[in-house]
Structure 1
Amino acid sequence: MNTVKILLVEDHMVVRNGIKLLLESEGEFTVIGEASDGVEALSMLANGLAPDIVLTDISMENMDGMELLKVVVQKYPLVKVVILSMLNQIHYVVEGFDHGLAGYLLKNVGYHELLFGLKHVADGGRYISEEVSMALLEQVSSGQVYTAVEKGMTVDLDINDRELEVLALIADGFTNVEIADRIFLSKRTVEGYRQSLIDKTKVKNTAELVKYAFQHGLLK
């Protein structure tokens, strides 16, 4: 039986190793390459690596997952791209599928859903994890409309993917120490991101930051 060949792109080695072990515990998948960012992944593809699926995070240095997606879709149309991220903001999902994304999964997804989603993509389908699908359904049922203005706000504020990741965890009520543990950063670095977000949004404190983020479409 042919296995599904995966190029795994993730900047945290511990997380990458965990995902690799999880995938290879299932006989249908083989991780044929590992990269820490989009630049390294593209170099491997240029050197002849031929995965069926590129499984990538969004927030990475040098080249993030969204930029990697755009290049892979153009240069390697037979390779499918699936995002596996902690970020469940709807604008990432919309942008990704606008550019040819094959799947969007959250890192808190269950073992069986992860495998099912990847198998579905390998068979030619597209997949969105259940939690993201429900968020989209809630937006539709409540009459909310995703707009290009919302999509562009992060660019106007010059908020990067890592800051958005920290912002989402702040909104979920995690402390600096807890955020640092979850995304493998130092407490001081997380504190720096929090202050940077406050400065960029011109709010006074964390409570106002979270309120601002929801009001202006940074978080859903």
Structure 2
Amino acid sequence: MKPQIIVADDHRLVAEGIVKILEKEYSVAATPSDGRSFIEAVERVRPALALVDISLPLLNGLDACRHVKKSCPEVKIVILTMHAEPHYVNEAFRVGVGGYVLKTSLADELLFAVREVLNGRTYISPVVAQGLVDQALHATEEPTEPTTTAPAVMLSLRQREVLQLVAEGKSNKEIASAINVTVKTIEFHKGKISKELGVRTTAELTKHAITLGLIAPPETPSASPKQSS
């Protein structure tokens, strides 16, 4: 029986391309298009591995992976994204993923990464690994600037979820419905978040959500691993 894999990406064409790459060796059990559906799919299917984009609506890929690692720690995870920035990579491995692959990679690299992670090893795209090396070398030459992700440490996972939904333009009622709490609870969380980040307006909250990587810069829908020639 082929190992089961879940592919989480909010661009349908990208997800379909990834499925075509995987289908000869693996069984793709689900292709959720947002972070919350991804968690539900993993908890229902319990796949061997999940391929996850960072830029997922409703709940970003990294925070969704945090949930998965708590409820289904045996599920292995590979991040498949356009984002090569070291702070995304570092955060992903802190969450507990086993691989980090760029969408600009060839299909053979994606398949190799999946095999490596399924076998208990770690895989990082060479371009991403070089970025980490460059960052480390730069850090030894001069003091580093505070990272843009530092404020995220002050926010709980629930607060990060609320902040992302606020930044996506959801109303208090919509956010409450999405995470199954009361509107008063959402108002409480928004107040705490504003205090922690030192902001007042929704526009400022949205700016912080982008800075923290909860909402990543838009990705190109056509960007997916290329079939090897």
Q: Same fold (TM over 0.5)?
A: yes
Q: Residue by residue, what CA displacement relative to the aligned partner does 1:143-199 show, whole Å, maximum 9, x if unpaired?
A: 357776432268954142486424xxxxxxxxxxxx7xx237xxxxxxxxxxxxxxx
Aligned residue for 1:82? 78
For 1:67 and 1:76, locate their aligned partners in 2 and report how far apart those are by CA, in whole Å. 14
Aligned residue for 1:55? 51
Task: Please report how far the alpha carbon of residue 67 of structure 1 lies from its aligned counterpart in structure 2 after TM superposition.
Answer: 0.9
* Structure 2 spans left out of the alignment, 5+ residues: 156-196, 198-206, 223-229
Aligned counterpart in structure 1 of residue 104 of structure 2, from 104, 108, 116: 108
For 1:146 and 1:95, locate their aligned partners in 2 and report how far apart those are by CA, in whole Å. 17
Aligned counterpart in structure 2 of residue 158 of structure 1, from 186, 203, 208: 208
Aligned residue for 2:40? 43
When normalised by structure 2's length, the TM-score is: 0.65
Aligned counterpart in structure 2 of residue 142 of structure 1, from 127, 138, 145: 138
Aligned residue for 2:114? 118
Q: Is the 8 A contact 2:66 2:95 kept in 1?
A: yes
For 1:119 and 1:147, locate their aligned partners in 2 and report how far apart those are by CA, in whole Å. 37
Which structure is richer in relative contact order (CA contacts within 8 A, separation 6 or more)? Answer: 2
For 2:26 and 2:215, locate their aligned partners in 1 and report how far apart those are by CA, in whole Å. 32
* Structure 1 spans left out of the alignment, 5+ residues: 167-178, 185-220
1:151 to 1:30, Cα distance in 2 relative to 1, 3 A: same
Aligned residue for 2:91? 95
1:164 to 1:61, Cα distance in 2 relative to 1, 3 A: closer
Aligned residue for 2:191? none
For 2:217, give the aligned amino acid.
E
For 1:21, give the aligned amino acid.
K
Task: Please report how far the alpha carbon of residue 41 of structure 1 lies from its aligned counterpart in structure 2 after TM superposition.
Answer: 1.6
| 3-state secondary structure, aligned to 1:92 | helix
Q: Is the 8 A contact 1:81 1:102 kept in 2?
A: yes
For 1:162 and 1:99, locate their aligned partners in 2 and report how far apart those are by CA, in whole Å. 14
1:153 to 1:109, Cα distance in 2 relative to 1, 3 A: farther
1:113 to 1:146, Cα distance in 2 relative to 1, 3 A: farther
Count of matched residue pairs:
166
Task: Please report how far the alpha carbon of residue 33 of structure 1 lies from its aligned counterpart in structure 2 after TM superposition.
Answer: 1.2
Task: Please report how far the alpha carbon of residue 99 of structure 1 lies from its aligned counterpart in structure 2 after TM superposition.
Answer: 1.5
When normalised by structure 1's length, the TM-score is: 0.68
| 3-state secondary structure, aligned to 1:143 | helix
Aligned residue for 2:21? 22
For 1:58 and 1:98, locate their aligned partners in 2 and report how far apart those are by CA, in whole Å. 14
Aligned residue for 1:201? none
| Shift >4 Å, 4+ stretches | 144-148, 153-157
For 1:31 and 1:126, locate their aligned partners in 2 and report how far apart those are by CA, in whole Å. 21
| 3-state secondary structure, aligned to 2:59 | coil
> What pairs with 1:174-193 in structure 2 (closer than 5 Å)?
182-183=220-221
Task: Please report how far the alpha carbon of residue 35 of structure 1 lies from its aligned counterpart in structure 2 after TM superposition.
Answer: 0.4
1:163 to 1:49, Cα distance in 2 relative to 1, 3 A: closer
Task: Please report how far the alpha carbon of residue 89 of structure 1 lies from its aligned counterpart in structure 2 after TM superposition.
Answer: 1.1
| 3-state secondary structure, aligned to 2:78 | strand
